[in-house]
Every structure is written in structure tokens, then in C-alpha cells.
Structure 1
Amino acid sequence: MDSALDCPLRSCSARWDFTDGRAVTVRAVLPEDMALASEFVARALSQQSRYQRFQTGLRELAPGMAAYLTQIDYRGHVALAAVALQDGREHQVGEARYVCDGGHPEQAEFALAVADAWQGCGLGGRLLRQLVRLARRHGVQRLYGDVLRTNQAMVALARSNGFVPERQGDARLVRMARTLETAPLAAPH
């Protein structure tokens, strides 16, 4: 079962165990994660995985991009990191995020990436389901992501989690979208 990360997001974490014996801690992305995020993109993702995530040929995160991906406000931009311990050190092995559309906070674009070594074990699906739960709790009514048409694994993952394809102006992309039934956050005690 996926943990719900029900406490204030910045202070929450959950351990997810996988059938192959590996485990990750899923937690909010924090400002001090710039080096972790940069290493994830440069070393854990192949050139193809980077292209599928960012839709460009980047090899590493520019400092401004790393700052954007780690300086999260947890209102209009929510991001989760999946980290695994290896050699006594944390390594990021996955990330999922959504960013609300500027003038339309009820809809948000999502993005997801899983380290090549972790693809196929179910981490991407668990991250996507967790992201849907968080978006729903924060009042997002529509979640969508623009996926490269050639990224059939991501298209299939989105479909299996209730997303449906929509027309997209760019012939390279398919927009996968899902309407969410909202469950507002509980009032603070």
C-alpha cells in the first residue's frame, strides 16, 4: 500500500518496499536537494530518459533549472523525490511533480521521471498515484502531462492510472489528462 503522506508535505516521508528487496523513501523535494537532483539527472537517467522527461537533449541541469526544481512552494508547485540508500549515501531514483497553471490553479501539469535502474519495478506508478492523491487534496481538478508519443511506457502508465489522451497541438506529443474528484485539505488543528 502507498503511504498517503498526510501530514504537512515538507515534513513527511514514507518508506516504500518493492518485491525485489529494494526500498525507497519518498519525501518532499527540499531546497537543499539541488545536488541530489542534479546528480539524478546527470547520472541516473540515460540520454533517452532525460529526453523523455525534459523533451530536450540536456545532459545536466543548469543551476537555474536545478533551483527551479528544488525551490518548491508546496501550493502551486508540489514535488516528491524517491531516494534510496546506496553505499551509505542517499541517491535520488525518482521524482514526480505538478505545477499549477498560472491563472488556473484548479489545473496542473505533471512530470515524472524514474532512474533507468529502477524502471519496471512499479516506482513510477506509485509516484503517479501519490501525486494524484496530493493534487486532489490540494484542490486540483484536472491533472495533465504532455508526453512524447514515442514514450509508450509513460503513455501506458498514465492510461493505467485513469489518464486519457487528448488532442495536442505539437504532433510529437500526446496530452494525457485526468479529471480529479477533489477532497480538500483538512483544516489545521
Structure 2
Amino acid sequence: MESASTFLTIKQAAQQVNKSEQTIRRLVKQYAKTSHIQLEQAPKGNTYLISQTFLAQQYPTPAEQLPIIIEPESGPTIENLQQQLAERDQTIQQLQHRLLEQNDVLNALTSQVNSQRIGRIEELLLSQNEQLGELQKRLPEPPEVLQLPPAPTPPKKGLWQRLFGS
């Protein structure tokens, strides 16, 4: 058990850890049955005392809360990273240039293939036209169309025939 000199009142504990008295009372209530909290009789009633070491464990002071700074192991420096980045950018530019060159070659090949196809289609059309001409020459001449005399037109009906028929 700890000596009485290491125990603080709720007010003293709140001032030491820069917390409200209500926060310290909640902590006392939570750990009331442990050895970290003592109940002392005072003339005006019972007073709770809290262990200074326990208080420090629960609410570390800002100096204790500072993060530990770890020196980086001999990793890449900023200069090395910048150099690597510049090399990567240069590689990207080279790849983009190669891609553009390959795109130009592909366009030229596509154009050449299309020209060849168009030439072949034109050759086929000419060949078919020649065959069609030869077939038309082999066909017999169509017979001349006989003209029939026009059909006689019926005589005109008179007024009385149109009105009364017959």
C-alpha cells in the first residue's frame, strides 16, 4: 500500500492533470474499491484520496505524451527520390514517343491495306463489267415490236341518248 504523502485530494488531482473535478470523481467512482483510492474521514465528512502514480498512469502529462521520434533508417533521400521521379518521367516520355511512332506506322499500314482493297475492288468491277458486256453481245437481238392499229372509238351519243339511254 502506498504512503499517505503520495495521495492527493480530488481538487489537487484535478489541478495536477488539468482535468475537471467531475472527471476525477468519475475516475474515483470507477476505481473506488482498489488500492489506488483511499477513503479518509474529515471533520466535514468523508474525503476520497487518489494515488498520484495511478493518476499519472491514467492521465499522462504532455511531456509523457510526446511521440518518440525515430530516425529513419538509411532510406532514400529526397534527392534520390527526385532523381528516380525524373528518370520515371523520362521513361514515360520515351514510351509515349514510341507509342506515337507505332501509331503512325499502324495508320500508314492501314492506309496501304485500304488502298490495296480499293484497287482490288476496282479490278473486280472492271472484270464484271467486261463479262457483262460479253454476255450482252451473246444475247440474240430482240424482235421488233409490232404496232397494232388503235382500237376504234365508239361514236358519240347524242343528247337524247345520253339522257334516256340506248
TM-score range, shorter chain: under 0.3
Decide which structure has the larger Cα Rg and report it.
2
Which structure has the highest helix share of the two? 2
Which structure has the highest strand share of the two? 1
